[in-house]
Amino acid sequence: MNASLLLRRCQLIAQEASGQTVDIAIAAGQIMAIAPTLEISAPIELDIGGQLVSAPFVESHIHLDSALTAGQPRWNLSGTLFEGIEIWRDRKADLTIEDVKTRAIQALKQQASLGVLFVRSHADVSEPSLSALKGLLAVREAVKDWMTLQVVAFPQDGLYGSETNAALMEESLKLGADAVGGIPHYELTREDGVRSVHKIFELAQKYDRLIDIHCDEIDDPQSRFLEVVAACAIRSGLGPRVTASHTTAFGSYNDAYALKLMGILQRAQLNFIANPLINITLQGRTDTYPKRRGVTRVKELWQSGLNVSLGHDCIQDPWYSLGTGNLLAVAEMAVHVCQMTGQDEIDACFDMVTSHGARTLNLQADYGIAEGQPANLIVLDARSRYEAILNRATVKYVISRGQVLVETAPPAVTWHGE
């Protein structure tokens, strides 16, 4: 078979330490061959010049239904999670499928241009119209030729926040949501929260779906739904198909409880997602000083061998008015907030927005740079993961399904001084 695209002198992460490069040949949307030197030609040949070629970034946690709505209908003045939920309740009153589709595709194009080709988005399913879910399911179909999108049915107002919400969740799964979501810490009582977690597992088994729960996204050290999620994962055996998002209260638990919990989590083998941009912004708002960071124990979870990925969570919405969708900004924030400043730790933060995210999304064989894999890869203006985070490197080429989808020139700096 003839190659359609050839990348010369690529630095793969696996050979970062040695500095050895490889050529990568692509044909029919797949990686055809990888070798130090390939004696073939192709209609398009790119000399990568020893720069880093990675599997694409994976956005493991975002809310595309609310993306690009900052200030609508008003600004979040307290900056808290709960005022954000109030504002979103007003904004979503006039949500339409078209409105969701337009903004979501705009946000996905923005992320794809920054090297993100796999995204898990939550869709609020607390409204009887299910406009957010229907809009995002339509988007999943519309972008499938260049982007893989997973949609989580997310009961923003609580699974038991109203009499209809549990039925709306089940309807969402019948419509084709990829995962069951939840928000146990926002339910009316602790008992409702526990009941919601059990219901989520029951539905995931009934419809054979993944699970991704907004879990303990609060500074309250008494918010302990993570142990409930872990227990359900152990008893059901679903662990690797289950994700606990945020778990910010874990950062406020006393160490004796945290140590006990860590043992349970290792048995459960859940996936974890921290959203450092948003966690550092929303949490700690009721503290004076010292003020908590409000981020889960990323470093300790990672050191325990558990799968941790990082998400952007929000792009210009009621919870966070900033954000461009750049996962290198997320990784850079994790380095700071989670104190992951060692060389291995910085590399791990890069992995948390790439391969670890792929594991969270259960992408398995669809992800990674190897012969026979789908040809999804990115070329960074950097020679290593460290340089990529250091410089928030430009993603020069985004290759999706074997085609160059986006090309971006790094900024050119001209020095006119002495």
How far is residue 210 from each of residues 117, 205, 270, measured CA to CA in Å? Answer: 19, 9, 11
Residues 5-44, one symbol each (x = binds Zn ion by CB under 5 A, - = not), give ----------------------------------------
Residues 133-152 binding Zn ion (CB under 5 A) are none
What DSSP element (H or E) covers 411?
A: none
Cα–Cα distance measured from residue 223 to residue 36, given in angstroms and rounded to the nearest whole number: 53
Contact 161, 185 (CB under 8 A): no
**Residue closer to Zn ion, measured from CB, 295 or 346:** 295
Q: Euclidean distance between the first and final Cα of the chain, in Å?
A: 54
**Residue closer to Zn ion, measured from CB, 10 or 327:** 327
> Which residues does 8 contact at the CB level (< 8 Å), separation at least 6?
23, 45, 46, 47, 48
What DSSP element (H or E) covers 207?
A: helix 190-207
Residue 319 Cβ, how far from Zn ion at the closest point, in Å?
8
**Residue closer to Zn ion, measured from CB, 3 or 87:** 87
Q: What is the DSSP string of 28-65?
A: TTEEEEEESS-----SEEEE-TT-EEEPPEEEEEE-TT
**Number of residues in contact with Zn ion under rule CB under 5 A:** 1
Contact 352, 138 (CB under 8 A): no
Residues 285-324 binding Zn ion (CB under 5 A) are 313
Q: Quick one: CA dihedral 128, 134, 136, 137, positive or negative?
A: positive
Residue 214 Cβ, how far from Zn ion at the closest point, in Å?
5
**Residue closer to Zn ion, measured from CB, 107 or 393:** 107
Distance of CA 170 to the CA centre of its chain: 24
Cα–Cα distance measured from residue 219 to residue 273, given in angstroms and rounded to the nearest whole number: 16
**Residue closer to Zn ion, measured from CB, 59 or 313:** 313
371 counts as catalytic = no
Tokens of residue 1, six digits: 């078979």
Residue 217 Cβ, how far from Zn ion at the closest point, in Å?
7
Tokens of residue 153, six digits: 């049915």
Candidate list 171, 217, 300, 387, residue with the active-site label:
217
Residue 252 Cβ, how far from Zn ion at the closest point, in Å?
18
Residue 396 Cβ, how far from Zn ion at the closest point, in Å?
30
Residue 245 Cβ, how far from Zn ion at the closest point, in Å?
6
How far is residue 284 from each of residues 83, 249, 292, 326, measured CA to CA in Å? Answer: 14, 11, 5, 24
Contact 119, 357 (CB under 8 A): no
**Residue closer to Zn ion, measured from CB, 127 or 313:** 313
Secondary structure of residue 267 in the 3-state scheme = helix
- Compute the chain's Rg from CA coordinates: 21
In terms of residues, how long is the chain? 418
SS (H, E, C) 115-178: CEEEEEEEEECCCCCCHHHHHHHHHHHHCCCCCEEEEEEECCCCCCCCCCHHHHHHHHHHHCCC
Cα–Cα distance measured from residue 291 to residue 282, given in angstroms and rounded to the nearest whole number: 12
Q: Which residue is nearest to Zn ion (CB)?
A: 313
- Residues lying near Zn ion in the complex (CB under 5 A) are found at 313
Catalytic residue positions, numbered: 217
